Structure 1
Amino acid sequence: MGQPFLERRDATPLRARKLDLAAHAAWLYYIAGNTQEEIATKLNVSRQAAQRLVALAVSEKLIKFRLDHPLSECIALAESLRDRFDLSLCEVVPTDAGSGDTLYGIGVCAATHLEAYLMAKTPTILALSSGRTLRTMVEQIPSMNQPQHKIVSIIGNMSHSGRAGRHEVVMHLSDRVGSQAYPVPTPVVATSVEERELLQTQRSFLTVKTLAEQAKVTFVGISHIAWNAPLHQDGFINDDEVAELIELGAVGEIAGWAYSDRGVLLQEGTNSRVASVALEQPAHRLIIGVAGTVRKSEAILAALHGKLITGLITDEAAAQAILSKI
């Protein structure tokens, strides 16, 4: 994202708002892939006006390869969240009012931060969990050759029955950038406490755990706890286990670790058998939550309350929902 748009001495409120609209139109066109007719409908302007707004964004150099103009509404939401939860980093992307799906927009925004770390010449350890949003983030990263970095997972990618997850991230990223990959060699949830303890004494797991604890930054997905939520839908927990978590008051999970509406990690349920790298609470390192939509707002808010994350990349709708609850 670029510099604040009120840079010019002759910028009037009307012109500032016009630049806001131009930036919004450009985001819908270049990022969300909307047609000019769709943009006109969403911004409540004529098709010709929508075309002129996109042209204005280009002529004002708001567009490079990514949108280079911060939308004032999103910036205000990001600053409110940053101040309220003392975040090291906070980004809010516009919500596509038509589809409500901001997965791509969040992924593009998160990718700009991830790419900055990957471009470093100094060997760096980067840690990630898994999930659709992080997978979308990784898909925006261009191919490069950075063998000096270590890409570390904090969560396994299979159920205790051996079924693989569909949204693995670490191997996918390492293939794109040529870095060393360190996946977690365990299922997300073990079948028993004894099995989990045994798995976590393996040298391969201890190596990954040590690296994850040294990571310069960790990108994590955040999900809600519900029937057919990702942890359940992907087969990492079964029907009885998700029902138990709901009964215990779980509202969200990060890397398989379930937590309450105040962000407190549960001591019961599947948490006693989660074989992922343990979450730090409160987090003292840079842990960036990458998640959006109103549906996940309660889980994101709880993670913020519990200080499970110290950075956040989300969408406008989720940010508004979070701030309305506090």
Structure 2
Amino acid sequence: MAKVPQADEPSLHDEAARAGWLYYLGGLTQDQIAAELGVSRQRAQRLVSRAVAEGLIQVRLSHRIGACLDLEAALTDRFGLTRARVAPFAGPGVDAVRATSPVAAAELERVLRMAEGKVIALGTGRSLRGMVDAMDEIAAPQHRLVSLIGNIAPDGSASFFDVVMRLADKVRAPHYPMPVPVISTTEAENDAFHALAPVQRVVELARQADVIFVGVGQMSDDAPLLKDGFVTRAELDAMQAAGATGEVAGWVYDSQGAYLDLGTNRRTGGVRVEPGLPRPAIGIAAGVQKTPALAAALKARIINGLVTDEPTARALLTL
């Protein structure tokens, strides 16, 4: 079992930044912050005030907390990551997407500010939508944005969590949605979509991606694919029986990160993220329920970078 790093005694800036994060992002009261940090209510109040006065908290956390840095180093060492960012714990009951979104947005902005034009490929989902919603507007016309996954929901509507067009509005960059269903009804229908010349051009562009940002979904009974209506209960049951553990861009894999050759994988539109390719493939995901899916994706190097939160990072390191 890997040893989870124990943080050194936190600095005053660490404590203030964490208190400000819990107050402004987690919505905790000063009494709750005091209990979480193990300090008096008066000290919690002073820490929040210091976080604001010293600019540690703006819209985002601008001070890197030592415990998070330790976890980033441990994740990088354990999984051989190219990038690792760990968001501070935002308090009990707070949606983990709220914690990771500003940190993920900073990672995307870092890429968008590169002068050399890149092909940036994106998956979909709550985490990626949160990332795009949290980012600043940046003029980045030198880049091209392309979706890895179809943007048509089962009822024919646009997929609610598609992010390419939302991102393009913020960065004013050329963008290429994947004009196919997320999952087609039949293999023949999926083949017919992929035979279309416009689809083939988008697929080829996605395969040339210089940088990839994707969410990571679990395949347990609370699977996002089931919750969002892309698979049926029977389809999920069949894939679980075959060892389904996680999914990236709609493609389902087992506990070793090997993609399954069955179920909806035979009807999934878009482009699969191939393991081990020499380009950044950054997973944006948090929540301890995602730990097995994340571990498998990291093991197979479907993703080689990670943005997550403290509880998820610790869960990964104790596997």
**TM-score (normalised: structure 2):** 0.91
**Compared with structure 1, are the counterparts of its residues 204 and 69 closer, same or farther at alpha carbon in structure 2 (3 Å cutoff)?**
same
- Residue equivalent to 2:203: 209
- Which residue number in structure 2 is paired with residue 252 of structure 1? 246
CA 1:255–1:159 in 2, change beyond 3 Å: closer, same or farther?
A: same
Name the CA shift for 1:97/1:110 in 2 (closer, same or farther; >3 Å): same
Structure 1 residue 131 displacement after superposition: 0.4
Aligned runs of 1:22-37 on 2, under 5 Å?
22-37=16-31
- Shift of the alpha carbon at 1:190? 1.7
Q: Please tell me whether residue 165 in structure 1 is matched to residue 159 in structure 2.
A: yes
Q: CA deviation at 1:148?
A: 3.2
1:319 positional shift: 1.0
In 1, Cα distance between equivalents of 2:312 and 2:157: 32
Partners of 2:26 and 2:91 within 8 A in 1: no
1:176-325 alignment runs, 5 A limit: 176-325=170-319
Residue aligned with 1:53, SS: helix
What secondary structure, in the 3-state scheme, does the structure 2 residue paired with 1:155 have?
Answer: strand
Structure 2 stretches lacking a partner, 5+ long:
1-6
Query: Match for 2:51: what amino acid?
Result: A
- Give the whole-Å Cα distance in 1 for the aligned partners of 2:8 and 2:182: 53
User: Given that residues 158 and 236 in structure 1 are in contact (C-alpha distance below 8 angstroms), is that contact kept between their aligned partners in structure 2?
Assistant: no
Q: Which has the higher contact order (CA 8 A, sep 6+)?
A: 2
| Equivalent-residue separation in structure 2 for 1:322 and 1:15 (angstroms) | 23
Is residue 23–residue 30 contact of structure 2 (8 Å, CA) maintained in 1? yes
Q: Which runs of 5+ in 1 are unaligned?
A: 1-12
Change in CA separation of 1:311 and 1:14 when aligned onto 2, cut-off 3 Å? closer
The Cα of 1:323 is off from its aligned counterpart by 1.1
CA RMSD, aligned part only? 2.1
Report the more deviating stretch, 67-76 or 105-114.
67-76
Distance apart, 1:65 and its partner CA? 5.2
Q: Distance in 1 between matches of 2:61 and 2:41?
A: 21
Give yes or no for the alignment of 1:133 onto 2:127. Answer: yes
Q: Corresponding residue for 2:73?
A: 79
2: CA distance, partners of 1:298 / 1:157 = 27
**Residues 41-190 of structure 1 aligned to structure 2 (within 5 Å):** 41-58=35-52, 62-63=56-57, 66-190=60-184
- The alpha carbon displacement at 1:228 in A equals 4.2
CA spacing shift, 1:220–1:200, aligned 2, 3 Å = same
8 Å CA contact 1:262, 1:306 repeated in 2: yes
Post-superposition offset of 1:59 = 5.3
- The answer to whether the 8 Å contact 2:21/2:57 transfers is no
Shift of 1:60: 5.2
| SS in structure 2 of the partner of residue 143 of structure 1 | coil
Q: CA–CA distance in 2 between the matches of 1:283 and 1:266?
A: 19
Q: CA deviation at 1:216?
A: 2.3
Change (3 A) 1:259 1:49: same
Q: Distance in 2 between matches of 1:100 and 1:30?
A: 12
Task: For 1:203 and 1:160, locate their aligned partners in 2 and report how far apart those are by CA, in whole Å.
Answer: 23
* Mapped partners of 1:104, 1:185: distance in 2: 29
The TM-score, its normalising length taken from structure 1, stands at 0.89
Number of matched residues? 313
- Shift of the 120–307 alpha-carbon distance from structure 1 to 2, 3 Å rule, reads closer
Q: Indicate the larger mover: 166-175 or 156-165.
A: 156-165
